[in-house]
Amino acid sequence: MQKNIFTPSQLNRLVKNELEMSFPSIWIEGEISNLSQPGSGHLYFSLKDNKAQINCALFKGNRTGLAVKPENGLLVRVRGKISLYEPRGNYQLIANRMEPAGAGELQQRFEELKKQLAHEGLFATESKQALADNNHNIAVISSASGAAIRDIITILGRRWPLANVRLYPVPVQGNEAAPAIVSALQAANQHSWADVIILGRGGGSLEDLWAFNEESVARAVFASNIPVVSAVGHEIDTVISDFVADLRAATPSAAAELVVPDQRLYQTRLREHLRNLSNILESSLRTRSQQLDHLEQRLFSRHPEKQLSQQQQQLSSLQKRIVKAITRCRRDAQIQLKQWQQRLAQLDPAEKISDKLSILKIHQQRLQRSMQLQLDTQQNLLNASARTLHALSPLTTLDRGYSITRESHTGKVIVRAEQLAQGDSVTSTFANGEVKSTVTEVNAHKAVS
């Protein structure tokens, strides 16, 4: 009987073919050790448990898109095919995929909890609270040493320096993270200080973010009486707290932008208020000026001294009212301006405010000069009218040596001699007084020179 005799290379080739046919694709879970990364770009490592290990090779072409960065001591799942390295007779796993151990189980738990909470109504739109347009007190539940809190504070300082931030420091991954987050949410609600709560952290793997997928955290977010903004991970990351929260932000920085307004909008509104105030003052001045013109026209149509005196009193009263109105408007404007200046001092650099105040002062001076010019013009017109009426007054005629004679008992003015008879009592009015006399003789046809 002839014996089958193999050379080492023949045997290794047969064993290799058998292994590759028996294990075309297999998943192996283990801890990475003996990791080697030569210049070729390939990875060589071992997967081990507490009893055995197997050599693995991950070639350069399969490294693209790995879900995990290989490191010694990392627990992973590796997919590949079993083969044999013929020159040495060592069998190995030719890997083509690697992912963190447990990722599949976590993803399944994630989907199951998401389905359960959705069925209970924790994701319902009608249960979500609306955020206020202007939130002054902001509670942040995050790591005290993470980048998230630094990003949030930076964004708030730039957009709305008036915002007050209170950090509730918690671990954001690990076994202690979920209970700490629940306690922080409860504490923030008990304090009733915050207008809104930002719950967040930076990006990471599914395991790193798992605390925000815990059912206890989801129910604590849903129970919060204060609106909660979930800002966990990067834009592509999604956790259970995102669905339960009243608002989801792609990143912690985006959350800070969502909860406060931009101070530049208020600066624009302030400039609009200042323009409106200036327009109101100018309109008021035009209205008062028109009223003054109307009074002047009425004054010209009446000549008696008594009416002139009444018009002067009314004009004086109107002038006082105009001055009071302008003073009141200016005072109110200054008060409101001072209030806006105080708010603006907190929102904007002092140099810009100083520039705006200088411009406003120039406008005020121009407005004051314009008002004074209008008042002086109207006063000059009034004085001219008074002089005209004074020239037409009967009293001026009396000053030139004339007199007015009236019947004493009727006050009727005597213009002709035949109106009188001997014995009539008359009163003669001179520039500085009156004389009462009795008619002793009437010469109706004799002219008096």
pLDDT tens-digit map of 13-42: 888 888 878 887 888 988 888 999 998 889
Please provide residue 331's backbone torsions phi and psi, each rounded to the nearest 5 degrees: -65, -45
**3-state class of 189 per DSSP?**
helix
Give me the pLDDT at residue 102, please: 65
Mean pLDDT, residues 331-360: 77
For residue 32, give every residue at least 6 positions away whose Cβ sits within 8 Å of its Cβ, in sequence order, or none: 45, 46, 47, 70, 71, 72, 73, 74, 75, 76
Per-residue model confidence as pLDDT tens digits over 216-251: 999 999 999 999 999 998 877 789 999 999 999 999
Q: Average of pLDDT values for 204-225?
A: 91
Least confident of 202-216, 287-301, 352-366: 287-301
SS3 1: coil
pLDDT at 448 over 50: no
Of 360, 350, 371, 212, residue with least CA distance to 287: 371
* Structure tokens that stand for 1 in this block: 């009987």
Check residue 299 and give its pLDDT: 65
CA 132 to chain centre: 11
* DSSP β-ladder status, 247-248 and 228-232: parallel
Structure confidence at residue 295 as a pLDDT band (50, 70, 90): confident
| Residues 6+ away with beta carbon under 8 Å from 323 | none
Exposed (0-12), middle (13-18) or buried (19+): which is 241, by Cβ within 10 Å? buried
Least Cα distance to 162 among 262, 274, 265, 229 occurs for 262
The residue-averaged pLDDT of 153-178 equals: 94
The confidence band for 444, taking pLDDT boundaries of 50, 70 and 90, is: confident
Rounded to an integer, what distance in angstroms lies between the CA atom of residue 439 and that of residue 433?
Answer: 19
Q: How many CB atoms lie within 10 A of CB 422?
A: 9
- Residue 449: per-residue pLDDT: 46
Give the pLDDT score at 348.
61
Of residues 218 and 111, more confidently modeled: 218
Q: Dig out the tokens for 251 from the structure.
A: 């990143």
Q: 393: Cβ–Cβ under 8 A, 6 or more apart, which residues? A: 305
Phi, psi of 78 (to 5 degrees): -125, 130
Assess whether pLDDT exceeds 90 at residue 329: no
**For the chain, first and last CA: distance in Å?**
187
CB 443 within 8 A of CB 427: no
